[in-house]
Amino acid sequence: MNNLLWFYFGVLSLGLVIVGILLFWQSRSYARLNLDIFSRTTPKPIIPKEGSNLHDTHAEDINASSLDHDQWIQQESDLLEKCDRLEALLNEKERELEKTQKALANELELRNGFTKMKDLLENEIAALKAKNHQLLAQFDVFRQEMEIPKDSVTSPQNQNI
């Protein structure tokens, strides 16, 4: 009974250690996540130039960043020109891609035809090799048959001598 209590105590302690480790790592990941979110949403502070106050610096930034109507129209036309050039480039690349895909399809068809022809020729070569082996075997049989009568013809003459 005492051993069983120690066993349960050990299992419970091990479980608590594992839960503590998991909670520690989870809290670290949340802290890391919160720091990332905080750093992304915090605006950068405006540092005033020497000799001026914060209000003057902010007003200068607003005046410097505002563009008049002609500048906005010029920027719009520049962006439209860039957009048109990019669309033309995109269309050209799409045409090149289509040509490349057609060439690839043709190459694959040629390769398939070549593979079929190669397989046919390999099968024919294998069949011819088998037939050649068979003919060589028949030739050896016929040669042996031709040599036997010569031996039988020559052996009686040798016996008479």
Residue 102 forms part of a structural domain: no
Q: Are 57 and 49 in contact (CB under 8 A)?
A: yes
List of residues 6+ apart from 75 with CB closer than 8 A: 67
Flag whether 14 is in a domain. Answer: yes
pLDDT value of residue 82: 92
Position 84 scores a pLDDT of: 93
Q: Is residue 77 part of a domain?
A: no
Residue range(s) defining the domain that contains residue 16: 1-41
Q: Is residue 21 included in any domain, yes or no?
A: yes
For residues 54 and 59, give the distance between their C-alpha atoms in angstroms, rounded to a whole number: 9
pTM greater than 0.75 (yes/no): no
The rounded average pLDDT for each run of 10 residues, N- to C-terminus, in the chain (161 residues) is 78 84 73 52 55 53 61 89 93 95 94 94 96 95 81 56 53
Q: What angle do CA 32, 33, 34 make, to 5 degrees?
A: 90
Torsion angles phi and psi, residue 68, rounded to 5: -80, 175
- What are φ and ψ of residue 70, in 5° steps? -65, -40
pLDDT at 146: 86
Whether 140 is covered by a domain: the verdict is no
Q: What's the confidence (pLDDT) of residue 79?
A: 92
CA distance 136 to 144: 12
Judge whether 54 lies within some domain.
no
Q: Residue 69's pLDDT is what?
A: 81
> What phi and psi, each to the nearest 5 degrees, are found at residue 101?
-65, -40
Asked, for residue 52, whether it belongs to a domain, the answer is: no
Tokens coding 103: 């060439």
Determine, yes or no, domain membership for 7.
yes
How many domains are there within the chain?
A: 1
At residue 133, the pLDDT reads 95
